[in-house]
Structure 1
Amino acid sequence: MELFTLQCLCKTLQEGGLAPAAQALGIRQEALEQLMINLETELKVPLFQREQGKLLLNSTGRRYSDRVRQALCMLEDAALQAASARDDLHGTVRLGLLATPPELPALLSYFSNAFPRIRLQFEEYSPAEEYDLLLAADPLPALPAPYTNLALVQEEMVVVISKQHAWATRRRCQLRELRNQPIAMPDPGHSTLSGYLRGLFAKNPPHIAFWAPSILQMMIFVRNGACTVLPLALAECICKEDPSLRLVHFGKKPPERTYRILRREDVPLPAIAHRFLDYALQFYRAQP
């Protein structure tokens, strides 16, 4: 069983089909399809089903792919730990925070285990300071120095409401429906989230909007009958802390917020910062 074949299987699961997976891998779809057929023959278990002339992963294939993805992540982590022992990298990486990507605590835990001698120093972003790397989200703010940005992960946006809200029994809503709802939005002068929401509602602005300078004040509006739109991880955390709140998902294509990691273009990136950059990209690419 070739490692490349297993990587191709995971890419098929990640991309949602053979055609986009083949394009992402840079190989012909016919070649990828033959690899998958050979894998089924070797395992003696059907992993795909044919629908409208296309090969699609069946439930067994999806479960197997997910286990393979976990195993590949462990192999990558082991390789990075071996590299850490070889390189003996140590020092401090300064990271400026403009936004907090989902699963960041898990990333930091894995990275610290792999590279115990590299210290990560997180600071709220200030234009007067210099950082090795920045963590941000769309829309990116104007920065005093040139930066290259790399996408880390996209996170679903959801609506947070009170359990006394008229939508309390609903599981899904449409973006256009928010126009008739009082909605709490973050202070437009202090939050990259407010910039994202302004773009999100540009073609369909809310009829009523309450501007609040903090998440706490936004939640006060929500408890009093308004709603708000937040990234999924933050919304789940808030609803877990406050049982009087619940979240409602958007329809088939929910809006997503893209989180990015930024590096300076005009100065060399230290080796330890480069190691964190590479690790972060691998970590998020391995997420289901």
Structure 2
Amino acid sequence: MEIRHLEYFVEVARQKSFSKAATISHVSQSAVSKMIKDLETELGTPLFNRTSKYVQLTDTGIIFLDQAQQLVVMFHNLTPEFENRIKMEKGKISIGLLPITSTTIFAELLGEFKKRYPQIEISLLEYGSKKVASAIQDGTLDAGVICIVPDNHYYDSLSFAKDPLFVIVSSQNPISQLPSIELASLSNESFVLYSNDFSLHDEIINQCRNVGFSPNVIFETSQLELMTQMVAANLGIAFLPSAVCKELDSNRIVSVPLMEPQIIHNMSIVWKRGRSMSHAARLWLQFAKDYFTSNEHFI
């Protein structure tokens, strides 16, 4: 028994005519008659009383019609229902964020996405760039925000912000009076640096060595508040993107543009190349691409 048997049977019962059912089904009357005959043979009972003037359901035909109609409706709804379930705007996304350098830029994106898709759950985990990349690779995270994109053979990425690093110092530090400062001039300062799992940790140390000194790192942290508190207490200096500096207490901490060389803090969304992603994750990535493309002050 095939679905066509049931479809033709239901149509004949509805039209009370083999010829009309054939016309509606776009097949020959003989094809409809054969399908009904095969169905009756398989069931072992007649489904219609046939005369030259009418076609009428038998008692068993009436009983079978109810089940056949349900099956036909279920069959025709199967593909649309399946597609709707796949496309249902629900699900969960796991995203890795940089606890120090992720700014309001990304928060605005998440806020707009949540307004559009309130039923999609977003799980945010704070890691440094290196751990974000590792977690994406092993499938722990769907996507993440990092500063330096790893090997392009394994990741796809979307750059959404380029922001120069500023030196932040206590208002008591003489550097706070300068309009800008060269990196080489910081050789005698104590550094409060990003933890080792941040790509900026390596970037800052390498840039210092390039200009002739190894920085005196007195403390490493992944917490913005702790970093800024140590700077405010004049225990050391630190480096933050200019966008983050705008949110600091200017009475206690002063941000000074870093020059020669200027270190650019790049922010990119990355995800594993070739990985089969959930519909929710694909929705979020497309939303992010559209969001940053439509906002010209990004990138």
Q: TM (normalized to structure 1)?
A: 0.58
Cα distance in 1 for partners of 2:261, 2:290 equals: 26
Q: 1:91 to 1:217 in 2, by over 3 A?
A: closer
Q: Does 1:118 align with 2:100?
A: no
Question: Is the Cα contact below 8 Å between 2:169 and 2:236 reproduced in 1?
Answer: yes
Q: Aligned to 1:264, which of 254, 268, 272? A: 272
Q: Name the structure 2 match of 1:191.
A: 198
1:147 to partner: Cα distance: 2.4
Q: 1:164 to 1:98 in 2, by over 3 A?
A: closer
User: Over aligned residues, Cα RMSD in angstroms?
Assistant: 3.1
Q: Does 1:155 align with 2:157?
A: no
Cα distance in 1 for partners of 2:178, 2:290 equals: 36
Larger Rg: 2
Residue ranges of structure 2 left out of the alignment (5+ in a row):
1-86
Structure 1 vs Structure 2: percent identity of aligned residues? 16
Question: Is the Cα contact below 8 Å between 2:232 and 2:252 reproduced in 1?
Answer: no
Cα distance in 2 for partners of 1:220, 1:281 equals: 37
Q: Name the structure 2 match of 1:109.
A: 111
Secondary structure of the 1:138 match is coil
Secondary structure of the 2:285 match is helix
Q: Name the structure 1 match of 2:141.
A: 131
Map of 1:138-217 to 2, 5 A cutoff?
A: 138=148, 140=150, 146-187=154-195, 189-206=196-213, 208-214=215-221, 215=223, 216=226
1:92 to partner: Cα distance: 1.2
1:266 to partner: Cα distance: 3.7
Question: Is the Cα contact below 8 Å between 1:90 and 1:117 reproduced in 2?
Answer: yes
Cα distance in 2 for partners of 1:280, 1:252 equals: 33
Question: Is the Cα contact below 8 Å between 1:185 and 1:210 reproduced in 2?
Answer: yes
Q: After superposition, what is the alpha-carbon deviation per residue over 1:127-183, rounded to whole angstroms, capped at 9, x for unaligned?
A: 46522212211264x89x932233221122101011111122222222332234333
Q: 1:153 to 1:167 in 2, by over 3 A?
A: same
Q: 1:209 to 1:117 in 2, by over 3 A?
A: same
Cα distance in 2 for partners of 1:138, 1:161 equals: 25
Report the residue type matching 1:236 in the other structure.
K
Secondary structure of the 1:259 match is strand
Cα distance in 2 for partners of 1:113, 1:273 equals: 16
Secondary structure of the 2:257 match is strand
Q: Name the structure 2 match of 1:65.
A: none
Secondary structure of the 1:149 match is strand
Question: Is the Cα contact below 8 Å between 2:96 and 2:141 reproduced in 1?
Answer: yes
Q: After superposition, what is the alpha-carbon deviation per residue over 1:20-50, rounded to whole angstroms, capped at 9, x for unaligned?
A: xxxxxxxxxxxxxxxxxxxxxxxxxxxxxxx
Q: Aligned to 2:241, which of 231, 254, 267? A: 231
Report the residue type matching 1:175 in the other structure.
L
Q: After superposition, what is the alpha-carbon deviation per residue over 1:41-78, rounded to whole angstroms, capped at 9, x for unaligned?
A: xxxxxxxxxxxxxxxxxxxxxxxxxxxxxxxxxxxxxx
Question: Is the Cα contact below 8 Å between 2:156 and 2:271 reproduced in 1?
Answer: yes
Of the structure 1 ranges 215-224 and 194-203, higher mean CA displacement relative to structure 2 is found in: 215-224
1:184 to partner: Cα distance: 2.6
Q: Aligned to 2:292, which of 266, 269, 284? A: 284
Secondary structure of the 1:201 match is helix
Cα distance in 1 for partners of 2:284, 2:118 equals: 12
